[in-house]
Amino acid sequence: MKSSVLTRYRAMAYITAVMLLVLCACMVFKYGFGMGKDLTLVVAQIHGVLYIIYLVFAFDLGSKARWPFAKLLWVLISGTIPTAAFFVERKVVREVTPLLVKDAPEPVKV
């Protein structure tokens, strides 16, 4: 598997996790203090689009790493639990790194 597959997943995992935290903060302001209604709507829509992209990249990584369905499902759902994506991403990187192939082939020895 190429390292770009893991890099895409890592980037989207971080972005999705940060946007989920921002969305949670907006929800506190919206329902706790009665302000930021429009901002919450915008942040929710942005997070939704980014989460769909995260799902595609996580599924791509899981299919190339040949994960069992339960593991793939856990990685996909981790984008909906605040801060879970940070921890799951670390674990995924540790498990997938040995599966990566080098981008440049080694020279042939004569």
Q: pLDDT per residue over 43-52, tens digit each?
A: 999 999 999 9
Q: Residue 19: how many CA atoms within 13 Å on its side-chain side?
A: 23
- Does the structure show a pLDDT above 80 at 103? no
Instruction: State both tokens at 109.
Output: 């020895």
Question: What's the pLDDT band for 109 if we cut at 50, 70, 90?
Answer: confident
Question: What's the pLDDT band for 107 if we cut at 50, 70, 90?
Answer: low
CB 74 within 8 A of CB 61: no
CB 17 within 8 A of CB 77: no
Question: What's the pLDDT band for 108 if we cut at 50, 70, 90?
Answer: confident
Single out the residue of 98, 94, 69 nearest to residue 1, CA to CA.
Answer: 98
pTM of the model: 0.84
